Amino acid sequence: MKKIVVFGSSGKSSIYLVEYLIKCIKTHGISLHFCDRDTSKIKAKYQASSIEFTDLDIHKNKQRGAIIEGADIVVSMLPAFLHPILAEDCLNFNTHFITASYVSKQMKEWQDQVAEKGLVFMNEIGVDPGLDHMSALRVIDWVKEQGGKITRFETFTGGLLSPESDNNPLHYKFTWNPKYVVIAGSSGAVKFLQQGKEKYIPYHKLFRRTELIEIDNYGMFEAYANRDSLTYIDLYGLPDVQTMYRGTFRRPGFGKLWDVFVQLGVTDDHFVIEHSDQLTFREFINSFLVYHPTDSVELKLMHYLKIDHDSEIMDKLRWLGIFENTPIPLKKATPAGILQYILEQKLKLEENDKDMIVMWHKFMYELNGKSYDRESALVVLGQDQQYTAMAKTVGLPLAIFVKHLIEGRHDNLKGVLIPSDKQVYLPILEELETMGIHFKEKYIT
Amino acid sequence: MKKIVVFGSSGKSSIYLVEYLIKCIKTHGISLHFCDRDTSKIKAKYQASSIEFTDLDIHKNKQRGAIIEGADIVVSMLPAFLHPILAEDCLNFNTHFITASYVSKQMKEWQDQVAEKGLVFMNEIGVDPGLDHMSALRVIDWVKEQGGKITRFETFTGGLLSPESDNNPLHYKFTWNPKYVVIAGSSGAVKFLQQGKEKYIPYHKLFRRTELIEIDNYGMFEAYANRDSLTYIDLYGLPDVQTMYRGTFRRPGFGKLWDVFVQLGVTDDHFVIEHSDQLTFREFINSFLVYHPTDSVELKLMHYLKIDHDSEIMDKLRWLGIFENTPIPLKKATPAGILQYILEQKLKLEENDKDMIVMWHKFMYELNGKSYDRESALVVLGQDQQYTAMAKTVGLPLAIFVKHLIEGRHDNLKGVLIPSDKQVYLPILEELETMGIHFKEKYIT
């Protein structure tokens, strides 16, 4: 009887994974162990003889080690920075390890040890990264098998609002960890390839270098570039590609609004405002503007950033409440932390809000002397605040891979991996299609 | 006979220090030991029986340790990142240690050990930091002694060109380490206090938030803020101060020009351009601009940064040669490294160029019921490329302090220090005045 341990099983993105694995108890005779800081809710909902529940502080080495020692597969839905702790235990106790996070530098260094032990450390097998790799490679590998040559690849993903819940001027609410939304892009210059030339965008220009994409039935989206697209040229095996561009989707207008925060400097997460709890929203914004004895914060901001007083941006900023004299209740907070708090007042999901995951690829390739321009689009809508599109698209690829591992389909796999192998991604994509995660393809002529 | 060791004695900023200490051989009966990677030139110039010269790799622990073991005082003119190695030896061998560098975090941690051993580790005793502290505190301490209250303090320093050598459109050449000029300000948001409010400026706005200052007989200067002025409120003991602002001087127009580089992203020192040696200056600039099949690099840049085609900025950019198809000879260089190379083609000092150090303070204070507005300005001109204003203002305060230490004036001092003590800075400032380093004071009425 195979034993699967899930860390972070009570998290917002875990429900589809958890329920899929529970179904596998009957079909595959497995046993499950759900661990999190507080598992009481999922215990009340799913209690069964073949499921163990443990409330756990991940930093308690003995308890954590004992749990991992008894497992065949460890799945982590915890934040990425906690993965090294779990991965190290898995290495010591000969356990497979599966996450939706990016392969970290440290993870890469374990490659040889993991392979030597015949273990599988599968990463980047959620939605983004995950589904993006798998759905892109299905087309890319097919083109290559046919003897074709990919010349251009662009891919964008966004965690957004289902059209019925899209009811604010930003067309955005926090459907994902707000902290990561606020600091998105701030870790360094963005890099990509366009028409054979490497291009770089500094953070303070990122939200002004957007492009617009239309997706059938869902309207227009705005895309800004992600960190380093250049590494994907090798990763996807595309030596002839002339354009390689990965990015994030928002609704049109978001970039121009967000750029105001970037320009002010209020997305900075690297320093602390000593007396943040003595400031109001308005004073916080003012601390990034020049001093003037009488000019208003609004006027100073408009003049500084060259914004018209009757522009949509000013309407949006006013609506967000950044000029209000509302006290900030956070002590010694960073600008990014304060901005997050201000935005959360208006951009929190309401009870009946539904989310939406949008993914889009463009492939241009040459095959048998002809040029092709092919697009592939996925839209997944959330059902409610529990069964979200995010949880579905992150959790199901992960869960299906776990099942395939149990079934012994991947006994030849070993090492630190991402789902770039056809034997891995193809059966996952096929099963996802039966569950409503379906890419629509079309050719542009 | 006291023995003084100088590391980095052949460096560009060492000549005044070296010659001052050589004079002390006769007057104070000391012996000297000059160490650097290559001391052949200074050996040829200064050879004498009481001076030792050693060509040394600073990382050779045994040789370095033996030198420091035999010394009473170690002076370092090496780059700041090498100071911990020397400081650690000084701690082990009970030697005083003097530098012009900022007190590092690591240096602070040694405070107790240094004090326990009765040693003096004096830092920030060059020009900036150094002379700025000393000359500011002379006024600040005087006001406090009189029972007054400082309400505003601003201070700016610049390493610039002597008016007779100011012959290019930027009114700037590299009189200091070009690398630090290129990345100046990029390490994080700037912080200062203005009219009782803390203010923050992100890097990408720093060169647009300048102010203009006039200095008698030398015309206008443009100032941009330095990293964290807030820490100086405690350091200078100014609990009532409402404005605390430290910055750097350039000539007017520099900020607007430099902002072009910041906006493009070409001052980034955090990533490497893989094939930098296959690019020209023009292609390098183009890699930070949008792709277009026919538009010129110039047009794309003007449109991106909203610059008029007939503006002074475009003239300056063209003069600098950034649009030329000149090959970049640097392998795997960062954008900052490439920008430095491009600028060095035009901004290198020519043979007969002379430099200039400008320092300016503004003090506003209340004393006996009256308000005062007092300014203090220092201008030092270089004689040639050896006897520079930079070397003079960095080296002499350091050298004079070493002399005072030998004379036993500071037997009560111990610990990790900066020259904030009146008994330290006053006699140094007095001696400097006899050497042409003289602040002109005036009251604004």
- Model confidence at B445, pLDDT cuts 50, 70, 90, reads confident
Q: What CA–CA distance (Å, rounded) separates A381 from B29?
A: 86
Which residues, in sequence order, are bridge partners of residue A373?
A: A364
Place of tokens 């980034």: B268
- pLDDT tens figures, B51-95: 999 999 999 999 999 999 999 999 999 999 999 999 999 999 999
Q: pLDDT at residue B428 above 90?
A: yes
Chosen for mutation from A195, A201, A261, A291 (greatest number of chain B CBs closer than 10 Å) is: A291
Sign of the alpha-carbon torsion through B271, B275, B281, B283: negative
Cα separation, B192 vs B202, whole angstroms: 12
Nearest to A254 by CA among A185, A170, A322, A315: A170
Segments of B190-276 assigned E as strands: 190-194, 197-201, 211-215, 219-225, 243-250
* pLDDT at residue number A407: 96
pLDDT 10s digits, B234-255: 999 999 999 999 999 999 999 9
Q: What is the DSSP letter of B172?
A: -
For residues B103 and B126, the answer to whether their CB atoms sit within 8 Å is no
Q: Report yes or no: B42 and B22 within 8 Å, Cβ to Cβ.
A: no
- Which string of b and e fits A248-258 if b means at least 16 CB within 10 Å? bbbbebbbbbb
Q: Which residues of B touch A337 (CB under 8 A)?
A: none
Residue A128 confidence (pLDDT):
93
What is the C-alpha to C-alpha distance for residues B286 and A224, in angstroms, rounded to an integer?
19
Q: Which long-range CB contacts under 8 A does B99-108 form with residues at least 24 apart? A: B99/B75, B99/B123, B99/B125, B99/B398, B100/B13, B100/B124, B100/B125, B100/B126, B100/B127, B100/B129, B100/B130, B100/B394, B100/B397, B100/B398, B101/B76, B101/B126, B102/B129, B103/B416, B103/B418, B104/B80, B107/B83, B107/B416, B108/B416
CA dist., res. B196 & res. B290, Å (int): 43
Residues of A in contact with B289 (CB under 8 A): 199
The predicted structure's pLDDT at residue A108: 94
pLDDT (0 to 100) of residue B442: 96
Verify whether the Cβ–Cβ distance A287 to B198 is below 8 Å: yes
d(C-alpha B400, C-alpha B406), whole Å:
10
Q: How far is B207 from chain A (nearest CA, A)?
A: 13
**Residues of B with Cβ-Cβ distance to A201 under 8 angstroms:** 265, 288
Would you list which residues of chain A are within 8 Å, Cβ to Cβ, of chain B? 188-189, 191, 194-195, 197-205, 209, 230, 263-265, 268, 270-271, 273-275, 283, 286-291, 293, 335
ipTM: 0.89
The rounded mean pLDDT for chain B is 96
CB A80 within 8 A of CB A101: yes
Please list the residues that pair with A380 across neighbouring strands.
A357
- Whole-angstrom distance, CA of residue B349 vs CA of residue B332: 26
Domain B3-126+390-432 has CATH 3.40.50.720: yes
Residue B78 is encoded by which pair of tokens?
Answer: 């090496």
Give the domain ranges of chain B: 3-126+390-432, 131-253+351-388, 258-347
Contact call for B200 and A290, based on CB within 8 A: no
Q: In angstroms, rounded to a whole number, what is the distance separating the alpha carbons of residues A42 and A15?
A: 9
* Interval B270-292 mean pLDDT: 97
Q: For residue A150, list its beta bridge partners.
A: A365
Q: What tokens were used for B170?
A: 């930027």
The percent helix, strand, coil of chain B (3-state, each to 5) is: 35, 25, 40
Positive or negative, the CA dihedral A249, A252, A256, A258 is negative
Which residues from chain B sit within 8 angstroms of residue A199, using beta carbons?
287-291
Single-letter code of the amino acid located at B443: Y
B213-219: list long-range contacts, CB under 8 Å, 24+ apart.
B213/B156, B213/B249, B213/B360, B215/B358, B215/B360, B215/B377, B215/B379, B216/B377, B216/B440, B216/B442, B217/B379, B218/B163, B218/B358, B218/B379
CATH code, A131-253+351-388: 3.30.360.10
Residue B252 CA to residue B158 CA, distance in Å, equals 12
Nearest-CB residue to B188 (from A204, A205, A271): A271
CA–CA dist B228, B360 (Å, integer): 18
Mark yes or no for CB contact A274/B198 under 8 Å. yes
Chain centroid offset of residue B294 CA = 44
Candidates B384, B386, B401, B383; CA nearest to B130 is B401
Which of B192, B200, B266, B305 to mutate: most A Cβ within 10 Å?
Answer: B200
B193-206 pLDDT, tens digit each: 999 999 999 999 99
pLDDT tens, position by position, for chain A (445 residues)?
Answer: 899 999 999 999 999 999 999 999 999 999 999 999 999 999 999 999 999 999 999 999 999 999 999 999 999 999 999 999 999 999 999 999 999 999 999 999 999 999 999 999 999 999 999 999 999 999 999 999 999 999 999 999 999 999 999 999 999 999 988 999 999 999 999 999 999 999 999 999 999 999 999 999 999 999 999 999 999 999 999 999 999 999 999 999 999 999 999 999 999 999 999 999 999 999 999 999 999 999 999 999 999 999 999 999 999 999 999 999 999 999 999 999 999 999 999 999 998 999 999 999 999 999 999 999 999 999 999 999 999 999 999 999 999 999 999 999 999 999 999 999 999 999 999 999 999 999 999 999 8
Q: Which of B204, B224, B328 to mutate to test the interface with A (most CBs of A within 10 A)?
A: B204
Do the Cβ atoms of A209 and B268 come within 8 Å?
A: no
Q: How confident is the model at residue B290 (pLDDT cuts 50, 70, 90)?
A: very high
Q: What is the CA radius of gyration of chain A?
A: 23
Q: Tell me how many residue pairs between chain A and chain B have CB atoms under 8 A apart.
A: 92
Chain B positions touching A205 (Cβ under 8 A) are 263, 265
CA atoms within 13 A of residue A252's CA, in its CB half-sphere:
9
Residue-wise over B382-407: b if at least 16 C-beta within 10 A, else e? beebeebbbbbbbbbbbbbbbbbbbe
The alpha carbon of residue B233 is apart from the nearest alpha carbon of chain A, in Å, by 14
At residue B307, the 3 state secondary structure works out as coil
Best of B285, B291, B292 to disrupt the A interface (most A CBs within 10 Å) is: B291
Q: What does the pLDDT read at residue A418? A: 96
Contact A189 B270 (CB under 8 A): yes
- What's the whole-number mean pLDDT along residues B265-294? 97
Select from A198, A200, A204 the Cβ nearest to the Cβ of B204: A204
**Residue B235: how many other CB atoms lie within 10 Å:** 14
pLDDT, mean of residues B339-359: 96
Percentage of residues in chain B having pLDDT higher than 90: 98
Selecting from B198, B202, B271 the residue whose C-beta is nearest the C-beta of A268 gives B202
Residue B200, helix vs strand vs coil: strand
| pLDDT, average across residues B120-132 | 97
Show the 3-state SS of chain A.
CCEEEEECCCCCCCHHHHHHHHHHHHHHCCEEEEEECCCHHHHHHHCCCCEEEEECCCCCHHHHHHHHHCCCEEEECCCHHHHHHHHHHHHHCCCEEEECCCCCHHHHHCHHHHHHCCCEEECCCEECCEHHHHHHHHHHHHHHHCCCEEEEEEEEEEEEECHHHCCCCCCCCCCCCHHHHHCCCCCCCEEEEECCEEEEECHHHHCCCCEEEEECCCEEEEEEECCECCHHHHHCCCCCCCEEEEEEEECCCHHHHHHHHHHHCCCCCCCCCCCHHHCEHHHHHHCCCCCCCCCCHHHHHHHHHCCCCCCHHHHHHHHHCCCCCCECCCCCCCHHHHHHHHHHHHHCCCCCCCEEEEEEEEEEEEECCEEEEEEEEEEEECCCCCCCHHHHHHHHHHHHHHHHHHCCCCCCCCEEECCCCHHHHHHHHHHHHCCCCCCEEEECC
A105: Cβ contacts below 8 Å, ≥ 6 apart? none
* pLDDT (0 to 100) of residue A63: 94
Residues B288, A200: C-beta atoms closer than 8 Å: yes
Contact residues for B300 (Cβ-Cβ < 8 A; gap 6+): B286, B289, B290, B292
Q: Is-contact A398 A425, C-beta < 8 A?
A: no
Is B270's CB within 8 Å of A188's CB?
Answer: yes
- pTM for the structure as a whole: 0.92
Looking at B328-392, which runs of residues are DSSP E strands? 355-367, 370-381
Nearest to B265 among A201, A265, A293 (CB): A201
Cβ <8 Å between B263 and A195: no
What pLDDT does A445 receive? Answer: 86
Residue B176 confidence (pLDDT): 85
Structure tokens at A119: 């273990």
Residues from chain A that touch B194, judged by Cβ atoms under 8 A, are 291
Asked if residues A155 and A137 have their Cβ atoms less than 8 Å apart, the reply is no
Whole-number Å distance between alpha carbons of A283 and A301:
12
What is the spatial distance between Cα B118 and Cα A174, in angstroms, rounded to a whole number? 58
B-chain residues near A202 (CB < 8 A) = 204, 263-265, 268, 288
Question: Are B293 and A195 within 8 A, CB to CB?
Answer: yes
pLDDT at B134: 98
Which chain A residues are Cβ-neighbours of B206 within 8 angstroms? Answer: none
d(CA B165, CA B388): 13
SS3 B207: coil
Contacts of B282 in chain A (CB under 8 A): none
> What is the gyration radius of the CA atoms in chain B, in angstroms?
23
Tokens of A413: 């796999």
